[in-house]
């Protein structure tokens, strides 16, 4: 099994030189579950911290390419099997994507909450 990293490094939107560490708040989605594609403006950084994530996705896409090379020679059995495996791999890729996107989403929401708290503190000071 793949061990999901606890901390993921993201690029600050609009300022690619600034990297942010984000700690995952949720466990990775369960295997085999259907996942809706999601919106996210977070970008993964290409650093050693994200190495395992990138390497895993890379390995999965390599598998996909290898599957493309499997010749069915018209056999429906091989075609179905190949389709099944491709679907499994695509699901796994989605699972990884959902994991880091959720992490970024949680972070963005937590940031919003924190900003509100900070503003509250400042108004207290003014009084």
Partner 1 sequence: MQGEREERETVDKNVVAIGIDIGTRYCRVAVWQNSHPVIVPDEEGNRAMHNYVSFGSDARLIGSGAKARQAVNTRNTAYGVKRLLGRNYRDPHSQEFIKMAPFTLISKGGYPHVQVEHLGKQEVFAPEEIIAMQLSKLKNMAQTFAQSDNLRVAVSIPAGFSALQRQAISDACEIAGLPDPLLIHEPAAAAMYYTFYSTENPQTSAGEKTILLVDIGAGTTSATVMSIDDGVVETLAVASNVQLGGDDLDHLLVKYVVAELKTTHGVDIGGEASVLSRLSSACERAKRALSSAQTAPVNLEGLGLSERVQLPYLVIKRDQFDALCSELYAAISKLVRDAMTQSGVRKTDIREVLLIGGATRTPGVAASILNSFEDSSPTLVKVRNLDEAVVYGLTIYSAALSKAEKSAEAQKVLDEMVVVDVIHHPISIAVIPNPDSSSEDAIDYLPPDGASPHECVLKTIMERNRVSPTRECRVFSTAIDDQTTVHIQIYEGADDDPDNNISLGYFELHGIPKSPFLGQLSKVEVCVEADGRGRTVFATASHNSEQGNATRTVSLHPGKLAHDTKREMSRRVEMFDKHDRIHEAQTLRRNNLEGYCYNAPGSIEELKRGVDRCLRRLDDTGLMPLSDEELALQEELLVALAKRVLPPGYAIVRQPA
Q: Which residues bind partner 1 (CB under 8 A)?
A: 3, 6, 17-19, 21, 23-27, 47-49
- Residue 117 CB, shortest distance to partner 1, in Å, is 16
- Residue 18 CB, shortest distance to partner 1, in Å, is 7
Q: Which residues contact 103 (CB under 8 A, 6 or more apart)?
A: 8, 22, 23, 24, 25, 26
Looking at beta carbons only, is 26 or 115 nearer to partner 1? 26
- Residue 16 CB, shortest distance to partner 1, in Å, is 8
Looking at beta carbons only, is 27 or 76 nearer to partner 1? 27
The phi and psi torsions of 121 (rounded to 5 degrees) equal -60, -40
> Are the C-beta atoms of 96 and 53 separated by less than 8 Å?
yes
> Are the C-beta atoms of 86 and 65 separated by less than 8 Å?
no
């Amino acid at each position: 099994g793949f061990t999901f990293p606890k901390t993921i490094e993201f690029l600050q939107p609009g300022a690619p030189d600034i990297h942010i560490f984000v700690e995952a708040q949720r466990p990775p989605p369960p295997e085999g579950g259907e996942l809706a594609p999601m919106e996210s403006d977070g970008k993964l950084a290409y650093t050693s911290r994200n190495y395992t994530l990138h390497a895993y996705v890379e390995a999965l896409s390599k598998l996909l390419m290898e599957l493309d090379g499997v010749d069915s020679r018209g056999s429906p059995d091989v075609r179905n099997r190949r389709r099944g495996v491709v679907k499994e791999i695509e699901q796994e890729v989605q699972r990884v994507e959902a994991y880091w996107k959720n992490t970024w989403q949680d972070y963005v929401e937590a940031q919003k909450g924190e900003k509100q708290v900070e503003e509250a503190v400042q108004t207290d000071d003014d009084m």
